[in-house]
Chains A and B, each alone.
Chain A
Amino acid sequence: MKPIDPQLVQEKLTELAGTSLYIHLETTNGAYASHKNQSFFSAGAFIRNAQLNFLQGKITGKGPYRIGLETELGWLYAEGLTEWETDEMDRVLLAGHDADGKLAIALELSEKPFPK
């Protein structure tokens, strides 16, 4: 992955608007967060292969970046994004890594389902 170039990501989002997509969206602070620090409230979520067709999407912020995708009935929101790539299967992979290089958030868009 490489550092996000917001202009390139915006071009990609504009291109994908109106397309039927499969989404992987995830936030995580790690399964050991509360083990290492008992006062830490651990929360996280992931959804894999949710189907989504968005009307318009934007990337904002100065880095880490935020993305909002507006759908007919609602929204998708992600913050803390730092790296991205378009892989060989033409999937758009975005992620946010903390100072230790650990993944904190992932947002991925693909026209084909991700492997389960």
Chain B
Amino acid sequence: MENHVLVIFPHPDDEAFGVAGTILSHTRAGTPVTYVCLTLGEMGRNMGRPLIANRETLPEIRKRELTEACRLLGVEDLRRFGMRDKTVEFADQEALQSRLFDVIEEVNPSLIITFYPGYAVHPDHDATGAAVIQAVKRLPEGERPKIHAIAFAQGCEDIIGEPDIVHDVSDFADQKMKVIEAHASQTSGVIDTMKKQFLEEDETVRDRMITERFWTFPL
């Protein structure tokens, strides 16, 4: 069991698809989880189906969705970093690492969950993972938390190997679906199909819902 889990992602809903079950397994076990979310996904393309948002109302809507997702996940400590979607890699990296380092020092996590830099597809994902790793490296060896990183770039397993952490989160699948649903502006177009495919035991959707995979990042 972990003492404290720190989850660091750039966009609201990054915690939903590949991690929600794992987060639930920690919060249900009574482990405190802190979630640092760097942006509000201001530049998302999905505006709800039917359209419920525009470019200017999207941040406020996603902020509410994130709050609700955290409630469903049992995450009581949410920290929004106020950066802008798409700009993480261009921001002052030293400053970002310092902010992350301060949170790491404060909550003293035994485990950090973030993206695997270089293999996480979205430039914000890669930049977030890279900044987290640099922040953790500021700690002396032996005092560093484990990092479980998410990779999903095409062909990433050919380079970084198979994920060494595979969680069966089937006990939390229903609640995970609710977390995905909470991000309605981003998921309302796909959620009905997803639910149907899940119930019909579509293998891809089922696997995505009940199995979460991570790579222990070699520090």
Q: Nearest chain A CB to B63's CB is how many angstroms away?
A: 12
Total contacts A-B at CB 8 Å? 60
Is the CB–CB distance between A103 and B56 below 8 Å? no
Is the CB–CB distance between B153 and A101 below 8 Å? no
Is A95 engaged at the interface, CB distance under 8 Å to the other chain?
Answer: yes
Interface string of B171-201 (1 = CB under 8 A from A): 0000000000000000001000000000000
Task: Return the chain A residue nearest B155 by Cβ.
Answer: A38
Taking residues whose C-beta sits less than 8 angstroms from the other chain, chain A's interface range is: 20 to 34
Chain B residue contacts of A28, Cβ below 8 A: 43, 45
Task: Return the chain B residue nearest A93 by Cβ.
Answer: B54
Is the CB–CB distance between B51 and A1 below 8 Å? yes
Is the CB–CB distance between A97 and B47 below 8 Å? yes
Q: Nearest chain B CB to A49's CB is how many angstroms away?
A: 12
Is the CB–CB distance between A31 and B121 below 8 Å? yes
Task: Return the chain B residue nearest A24 by Cβ.
Answer: B55
Return the contact of A31 from the options B48, B54, B122 (Cβ within 8 A). B122
Chain B residue contacts of A31, Cβ below 8 A: 86, 121-124
CA distance A97 to B154 in the complex (A): 28
CA distance A85 to B54 in the complex (A): 9
A91-B56, A95-B55 are contacts. A102–B46 as well, Cβ < 8 Å?
Answer: yes
- List CB contacts (< 8 Å) of A7-45 with chain B: 24, 26, 28, 30-32, 35, 38
Q: Nearest chain A CB to B141's CB is how many angstroms away?
A: 34
Is A114 engaged at the interface, CB distance under 8 Å to the other chain?
Answer: yes
Chain B residue contacts of A24, Cβ below 8 A: 55
Q: Nearest chain A CB to B147's CB is how many angstroms away?
A: 23
Is the CB–CB distance between A97 and B51 below 8 Å? yes
Q: Nearest chain A CB to B187's CB is how many angstroms away?
A: 12
Is the CB–CB distance between A83 and B55 below 8 Å? no
Is B71 engaged at the interface, CB distance under 8 Å to the other chain?
Answer: no
Q: Nearest chain A CB to B208's CB is how many angstroms away?
A: 15
CA distance A91 to B45 in the complex (A): 20
Chain B residue contacts of A108, Cβ below 8 A: 55-56
Is B49 engaged at the interface, CB distance under 8 Å to the other chain?
Answer: yes
Is A78 engaged at the interface, CB distance under 8 Å to the other chain?
Answer: no
Q: Nearest chain B CB to A66's CB is how many angstroms away?
A: 19
Chain A residue contacts of B84, Cβ below 8 A: 116
Is the CB–CB distance between A114 and B56 below 8 Å? yes
Q: Nearest chain B CB to A84's CB is how many angstroms away?
A: 9
List residues of chain B with CB under 8 Å of any chain A CB.
43-51, 54-57, 59, 84, 86, 121-124, 153-154, 189
List residues of chain A with CB under 8 Å of any chain B CB.
1, 24, 26, 28, 30-32, 35, 38, 46, 83, 85, 87, 91, 93, 95, 97, 100-104, 106, 108, 114-116
> What are 8 residue pairs bridging A and B, where the CB atoms are less than 8 Å apart in the complex?
A28-B45, A35-B121, A38-B154, A97-B51, A100-B49, A100-B189, A101-B189, A103-B46
